[in-house]
């Protein structure tokens, strides 16, 4: 069987499963989540053995310590995965909710009801926990899932997907609800990208290269979880102590993630006072600063920021810094370089706060808070599938609702159109 | 300048306009709509002259009477376009609406606010009224629009877009808010499909071929307005008189549109009584019936339906008819052949009505009403951009909200993430 045939067969099986999953009551789905959670500890031995094979291959291939750490599974990480699944059980099931219903003058009663998307294709890299996370989110929302993980984690993913699928099916989910593409051949991804007949959505999770490839080549609709070149603008009317706390948090609390800040913009009227304050704290945390010429007049000894720096998502302890002439200049810089993820202003000025919120075109816009809050759990959504930087369907942190669509349900008593 | 450069330049200009349109108050947008409506009558002469050129070329090219009629503009049709624009003025502006706002335990106040999509690319065929309709819907929702119409209507479209853009800009809209691609070269469409940097969404409106080409080739996100292979299932517990009225309406009230019915499914227990009843009425309206073998035993003299008929959207006075063994067999037929547009059951049985609504996977599912109601105006949305048959972003009739997205706005007082 060719790779294309294999992927198509699994996708077709997923479509079958999705049809039955769509009308499954919440209690059956929740029992399946509990069964998967339990299996993760009951079958920890076989999962960790598979992971050991991946770790060995990773070390032999010279993976960096950071990548090896992402790949590693242990009892504690399996427990965390199980805890995430149990957290899903306690969330309300979005499927079946009628979000609006109204009656037309002719008596037709029209409602919009939330229903599953159908089959979700998940294409992701390194971390094997995504296998279980994605499966859990899809089970909860009544979607079938077709998983395609990174080649470094292939043995771990095969073991996790097998354990999850067997537990879920044992608890009453239809066969095909959870499937993994077991070949690491790149051809399998190409096949997934074009299977419009069976896949309802693709969600790529990983580096910018993976996401770009999926977005550029897929004919299946994609929800893009994108790059975050996030800015904090410290206004002339900022509380400067607050601005130090926010900038240090946004840059250093976890620099390797998409909602971390990458460029600091400072109004010229406060730059002379503020930049030395914040630079001391940032430098103490090991942050390398790269400044515009005016920044370097104030902070002597730091490197120069180039055009490329303004456009870079470092995901590292590096910060580009620019002094701006005015509030409009800050808006203009953000407009030019923002990737539409998370943008913040620090100000005590009412009109500027409002103008920033209204004008900046991003998934999340903040006044006086750290960009690090852009997260499904921090927002209180109870779960997170990813953070969308596209505008269609879902934008910003995606909770369970992002894995649903709606249909119109119409109750009549014989109405015909005149 | 190459075609690609020309399209890119217009798209870039649209992006500029979109940035300013996003924060324009409703009254400015409504004044622009009124100005466009007024210009359509004030400048009727130049529009009708351009249309006469298209009509002449169309006749010379041997266009069918139906296509020529779609192309034709006259005073009355211009008045209808103006009336549609004025109807938009009276609708509430969705932009700016905060659809939810909540406060987190740390005091962060998080809201979801409706904002425009940005730049809408509209690719459409024959009818020049789409030029004005699409421009009006985009103005109302604060989006810039880049229009690409069919080559038969090129002179009409150029005139309409010029009149609309000049009137709108005269009333305070930024330049670039309404633009048309003036070349009929197919290369211009190819360019639009890939301009992710400037276009936020593409909406193709037209035949199945156009829509398929856009969906398959675009890297810009697409809202698909698709094919409707719609079914009506007459259950054994149907009120048969009601079932006749609904089927005749769904098939004949306007056969050339996507929500018209294409296949009739009848439960075997009522087929012997029902089929002759409905066949008499349908035949009187000029409908050609094509039946399965069991249908043809009851209705002698009608043609045979082939596998192809079950999958065909006739858009014409032809109806495929099948007798099914059971309710599940009807669900199975619909599952196999439905394009996910509009599906109806006629029944007085409570459980079957509920099961049909829950199980059938379509944008609109009906009990005891004609599929012809799937329409933004009939649903009370006040406007219609199209009818989406995809699941992401918008499904079913799309009103103004379908041309918006949301962003998270977050009010803090110095919160940082622990």
CA dist., res. A109 & res. A301, Å (int): 70
Could you give the C-alpha distances from B146 to A317, B11, B217, in angstroms and in order? 41, 7, 18
Collapse the DSSP code of B258 into the 3-class scheme (helix H, G, I; strand E, B; otherwise coil) and give the result: coil
Pick the closest to residue B131 from B47, B34, B38 (CA basis): B47
pLDDT (mean) for B398-404: 96
Residue B372: Cβ within 10 Å count: 26
Q: Which residues of chain B have a CB within 8 Å of the CB of A219?
A: 215-217
Do the domain assignments include residue A79?
yes
**Do B369 and A396 make contact, defined as CB atoms within 8 angstroms?**
no
- Please state at what angle helix B44-60 crosses helix B26-42, rounded to 10 degrees: 60
**Do A396 and B414 make contact, defined as CB atoms within 8 angstroms?**
no
CA B365 to chain centre: 17
CA dist., res. A370 & res. B108, Å (int): 10
**Do A249 and B417 make contact, defined as CB atoms within 8 angstroms?**
yes
One domain for residues A65 and A183: yes
Could you read off the pLDDT of A285-312 as tens digits, one per residue?
999 999 999 999 999 999 999 999 999 9
Look at residue B394 and tell me whether its pLDDT is greater than 90.
yes
Residue A256: Cβ within 10 Å count: 10
Look at residue A126 and tell me whether its pLDDT is greater than 90.
no
Do the domain assignments include residue A383?
no
Q: Which residues of chain A have a CB within 8 Å of the CB of B118?
A: 361, 391
**Do A417 and B357 make contact, defined as CB atoms within 8 angstroms?**
no
pLDDT at residue B208, rounded to an integer? 83
pLDDT (mean) for A364-386: 95
Could you read off the pLDDT of B82-116 as tens digits, one per residue?
999 999 999 999 999 999 999 999 999 999 999 99
**Do B221 and A392 make contact, defined as CB atoms within 8 angstroms?**
yes
**Rounded percentage of chain B residues whose pLDDT exceeds 70:** 100
One domain for residues A166 and A250: no
Query: Which of B102, B221, B415 is the closest to A369 by Cβ?
Result: B415
**Rounded percentage of chain A residues whose pLDDT exceeds 90:** 93
pLDDT (mean) for A395-408: 96
Look at residue A253 and tell me whether its pLDDT is greater than 80.
yes
Look at residue A259 and tell me whether its pLDDT is greater than 90.
yes
Confidence of residue A196 (pLDDT cuts 50, 70, 90): very high
**Do B414 and A368 make contact, defined as CB atoms within 8 angstroms?**
yes
Do the domain assignments include residue B153?
yes
> Measured between CA atoms, how close is A358 to chain B, in angstroms?
7
One domain for residues A24 and A131: yes
pLDDT at residue A87, rounded to an integer? 95
Could you read off the pLDDT of B306-365 as tens digits, one per residue?
999 999 999 999 999 999 999 999 999 999 999 999 999 999 999 999 999 999 999 999
CA dist., res. A261 & res. A4, Å (int): 41
**Do B416 and A102 make contact, defined as CB atoms within 8 angstroms?**
no
Domain that holds residue A176: 3-226+393-411
Look at residue B195 and tell me whether its pLDDT is greater than 80.
yes
Do the domain assignments include residue A169?
yes
**Do B368 and A215 make contact, defined as CB atoms within 8 angstroms?**
no
**Do B408 and A364 make contact, defined as CB atoms within 8 angstroms?**
yes
pLDDT at residue B17, rounded to an integer? 98
> Measured between CA atoms, how close is A409 to chain B, in angstroms?
5
Cα dihedral sign for A19, A25, A30, A32?
negative
Confidence of residue A66 (pLDDT cuts 50, 70, 90): confident
Q: Copy the structure tokens of residue A125.
A: 């890299």
Closest-CA residue of B relative to A21 is: B359
Q: Which residues of chain B have a CB within 8 Å of the CB of A408?
A: 363-365, 374, 379, 395-397
Q: Copy the structure tokens of residue A182.
A: 């077991």
Q: What is the mean pLDDT of chain B?
A: 96
Backbone angles phi, psi at A388, to 5 degrees: -80, 135
Do the domain assignments include residue A418?
no
CATH (domain of B301): 3.40.309.10
Query: Which of B102, B248, B392 is the closest to A201 by Cβ?
Result: B392
Closest-CA residue of B relative to A340 is: B407
pLDDT (mean) for B15-24: 97
One domain for residues A77 and A155: yes
Do the domain assignments include residue B385?
no
Q: Which residues of chain B have a CB within 8 Å of the CB of A239?
A: 414
Q: Which residues of chain A have a CB within 8 Å of the CB of B217?
A: 219
Look at residue B5 and tell me whether its pLDDT is greater than 80.
yes
**Do A249 and B411 make contact, defined as CB atoms within 8 angstroms?**
no
> Measured between CA atoms, how close is A229 to chain B, in angstroms?
16
pLDDT at residue A178, rounded to an integer? 98
Confidence of residue A209 (pLDDT cuts 50, 70, 90): confident
Q: Copy the structure tokens of residue B186.
A: 């197919």
**Do A365 and B242 make contact, defined as CB atoms within 8 angstroms?**
no
One domain for residues B214 and B90: yes
CATH (domain of A401): 3.40.605.10
One domain for residues A200 and A312: no
Q: What is the mean pLDDT of chain A?
A: 96
**Pairing mode, strands B303-304 and B288-291:** parallel
Look at residue A225 and tell me whether its pLDDT is greater than 90.
no
**Do B390 and A415 make contact, defined as CB atoms within 8 angstroms?**
no
**Do A373 and B19 make contact, defined as CB atoms within 8 angstroms?**
no
pLDDT at residue B109, rounded to an integer? 98
Q: Which residues of chain B have a CB within 8 Å of the CB of A253?
A: 416-417
Do the domain assignments include residue A402?
yes
Residues B217-228 as b or e (16 or more Cβ within 10 Å = b): ebbbbbbbbbbb
One domain for residues A397 and A358: no
> Measured between CA atoms, how close is A63 to chain B, in angstroms?
30
User: With the CA atoms of B205, B207, B209 and B213 taken in that order, what torsion angle do they form, in degrees rounded to the nearest 10?
Assistant: 0
One domain for residues B268 and B162: no
> Measured between CA atoms, how close is A283 to chain B, in angstroms?
19
Query: Which of B102, B363, B410 is the closest to A373 by Cβ?
Result: B410
Look at residue B225 and tell me whether its pLDDT is greater than 90.
no
Closest-CA residue of A relative to B239 is: A414
Could you read off the pLDDT of A328-353 as tens digits, one per residue?
999 999 999 999 999 999 999 999 99
**Rounded percentage of chain B residues whose pLDDT exceeds 90:** 93
Look at residue B160 and tell me whether its pLDDT is greater than 80.
yes
Could you give the C-alpha distances from A298 to A241, A268, A276, A283, A320, in angstroms and in order? 18, 11, 8, 15, 14
Query: Which of B23, B358, B406 is the closest to A23 by Cβ?
Result: B358
Q: Which residues of chain B have a CB within 8 Å of the CB of A366?
A: 410, 412
CA atoms within 13 A on the CB side of B235: 20
Could you read off the pLDDT of A6-26 as tens digits, one per residue?
999 999 999 999 999 999 999
Do the domain assignments include residue A168?
yes
Closest-CA residue of A relative to B219 is: A216
Q: How many domains does chain B have?
A: 2
**Do A102 and B216 make contact, defined as CB atoms within 8 angstroms?**
no
**Do A416 and B23 make contact, defined as CB atoms within 8 angstroms?**
no
pLDDT (mean) for B179-203: 95
Look at residue B66 and tell me whether its pLDDT is greater than 90.
no
Backbone angles phi, psi at A195, to 5 degrees: -85, 60
Size of interface A-B (CB pairs under 8 A): 193
Confidence of residue A206 (pLDDT cuts 50, 70, 90): confident
pLDDT (mean) for B71-92: 96
Q: Which residues of chain A have a CB within 8 Å of the CB of B221?
A: 221-222, 390-392
Closest-CA residue of B relative to A214 is: B219
**Pairing mode, strands B261-267 and B318-324:** parallel
pLDDT at residue A1, rounded to an integer? 82
pLDDT at residue A361, rounded to an integer? 96
Look at residue A76 and tell me whether its pLDDT is greater than 80.
yes
pLDDT at residue A73, rounded to an integer? 97
One domain for residues A245 and A220: no
> Measured between CA atoms, how close is B38 to chain A, in angstroms?
31
One domain for residues B198 and B219: yes
* DSSP assigned state of B33: H
One domain for residues A149 and A214: yes
Which of B410, B411, B413, B418 to mutate against chain A (most A CBs within 10 Å)?
B410
Scan for tokens 């094509």, then name that residue: B290
Which of A409, A411, A413 to mutate against chain B (most B CBs within 10 Å)?
A409
Contact between A91 and A383 (Cβ < 8 Å): yes
**Do A417 and B370 make contact, defined as CB atoms within 8 angstroms?**
yes
One domain for residues A140 and A203: yes
């Amino acid at each position: 069987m060719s790779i294309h045939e294999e992927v198509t067969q699994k996708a077709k099986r997923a479509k079958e499963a999705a049809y039955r999953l769509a009308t499954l009551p919440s209690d059956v789905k929740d029992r399946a989540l509990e069964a998967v959670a339990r299996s993760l500890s009951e079958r920890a031995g076989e999962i960790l053995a598979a992971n050991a094979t991946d770790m060995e291959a990773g070390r032999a291939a010279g993976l960096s310590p950071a990548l090896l750490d992402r790949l590693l599974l242990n009892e504690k990480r399996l427990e965390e995965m199980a805890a995430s699944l149990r957290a899903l059980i306690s969330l309300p099931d979005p499927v079946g909710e009628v979000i609006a219903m109204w009656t037309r003058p002719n008596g037709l009663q029209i409602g919009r009801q939330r229903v599953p998307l159908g089959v979700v294709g998940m294409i992701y890299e390194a971390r094997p926990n995504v296998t279980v996370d994605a499966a859990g989110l899809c089970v909860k929302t009544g979607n079938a899932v077709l998983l395609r993980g990174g080649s470094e984690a292939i043995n771990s993913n095969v073991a996790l997907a097998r354990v999850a699928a067997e537990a879920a099916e044992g608890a009453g989910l239809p066969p095909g609800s959870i499937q993994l593409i077991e070949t690491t051949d790149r051809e399998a991804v190409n096949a997934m990208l074009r299977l419009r007949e069976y896949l309802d959505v693709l969600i790529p999770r990983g580096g910018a290269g993976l996401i770009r490839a999926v977005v550029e080549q897929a004919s299946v609709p994609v929800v893009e979880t994108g790059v975050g070149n996030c800015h904090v603008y410290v206004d002339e009317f900022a509380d400067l102590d607050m601005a130090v706390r926010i900038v240090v948090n946004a840059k250093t609390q976890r620099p390797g993630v998409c909602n971390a800040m990458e460029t600091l913009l400072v109004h010229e009227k406060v730059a002379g006072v503020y930049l030395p304050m914040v630079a001391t704290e940032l430098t103490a945390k090991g942050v390398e600063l790269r400044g515009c010429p005016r920044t370097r007049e104030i902070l002597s000894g730091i490197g120069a920021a180039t055009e490329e720096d303004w456009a870079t998502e470092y995901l590292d302890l590096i910060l580009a810094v620019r002094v701006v002439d005015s509030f409009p200049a800050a808006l203009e810089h953000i407009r030019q370089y923002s990737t539409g993820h998370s943008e913040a202003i620090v100000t005590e000025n009412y009109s500027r706060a409002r103008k920033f919120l209204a004008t900046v075109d991003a998934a999340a816009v903040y006044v006086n808070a750290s960009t690090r809050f852009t997260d499904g759990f921090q927002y209180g959504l109870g779960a997170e599938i990813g953070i969308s930087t596209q505008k269609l369907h879902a934008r910003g942190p995606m909770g369970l609702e992002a894995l649903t669509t709606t249909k119109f349900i119409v109750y009549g008593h014989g109405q015909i159109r005149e």
